Structure 1
Amino acid sequence: MNYKTKILLIVVLLFDIIGLGWFAHLYLSREYSFWHTKNTDLSIAKPYGYYLGESLDDVAFKGKPMTNLNNAKYDYFQVDQGIVAASNKEHKLIRIVLNSDGMEVAKGIKVGSPLSDAMEVFGGSYYKRGEEQMSDPVIGYVDRKKDMTIEFWSKNGLITEIRIDRSFVQ
């Protein structure tokens, strides 16, 4: 093999490796999943009366002791036992996390429920994505009309966390 052929082969291999890396990142990302999953109506996902877009200054949050959890991207607060809320700079709710056993999102679907129950309630149009240190995939649903997603994190087929987000939240 001559020198030019070796250089060309190395360049082709580098482009191939870099291209596959970007493809894998894009494929596994939340953004890819958002645009390649059919729409699901998530209007039932209003746990404990909280809803995305609500101001943390509204009546629902008045009088609740909220502990700031300090996060670089958004302001996270422990609102109630098992409920974490994230807000943007305008103090609007952009994420609701349910992370204690028995916390219900809708129609009997709660932390600790079988993941298959959530899939029955929310339907078959979902995405799967990986998450670091999680053996089970995250299952998510998209509602483009409401600009929101709901994700079910699980272990051994049981829901361990439920996240309701604005679509742009990472």
Structure 2
Amino acid sequence: PVNLALALALGAALPSAPVVGGAMLVGFFAYGVSLTLFVLALRHLGAARSGAYFSIAPFFGALLALLMGEPLTLPLAAAAALMAFGIWLHLTEHHAHAHTHEALAHEHAHAHDAHHQHRHDDGADVAPGARHSHPHVHTGLTHTHAHFPDSHHRHTHD
């Protein structure tokens, strides 16, 4: 409101409806959808990994600038190479070891997998792989598999 008031006080005119609509559409994707995806990533990937992936957004902005005619400079190429290397490190990480899950009761969206082997109190028959949400209890479990630090893998490394 302050910026709008200042602009109008300085003689600026309101933009046309198509311009406002276009700005709202850009805002919907650039802010609304990206923030929703970020929050989902926080839940499923953990804070550090989500932050690392979300921080590559400027890479796409730089790519768009190049497509719009901006020159490719040495600093831009070096930054792109470093970001690409970081993405490669994240995507090729293989973190697997024996670990123990303590007993836990909570609620979140899940599909039945190695961490979600439970019955439903109401007798519901849930299709394999179908995501659903309800309060459930995890019994203690020790196993080995590749994993990321997420809500089920918050353990220390000896």
- TM-score when scaled to structure 1? 0.26
Highest relative contact order (Cα 8 Å, sep 6+), 1 or 2?
2
Decide which structure has the larger Cα Rg and report it. 2
- TM-score when scaled to structure 2? 0.28
Give the structure with the larger helix fraction.
Answer: 2
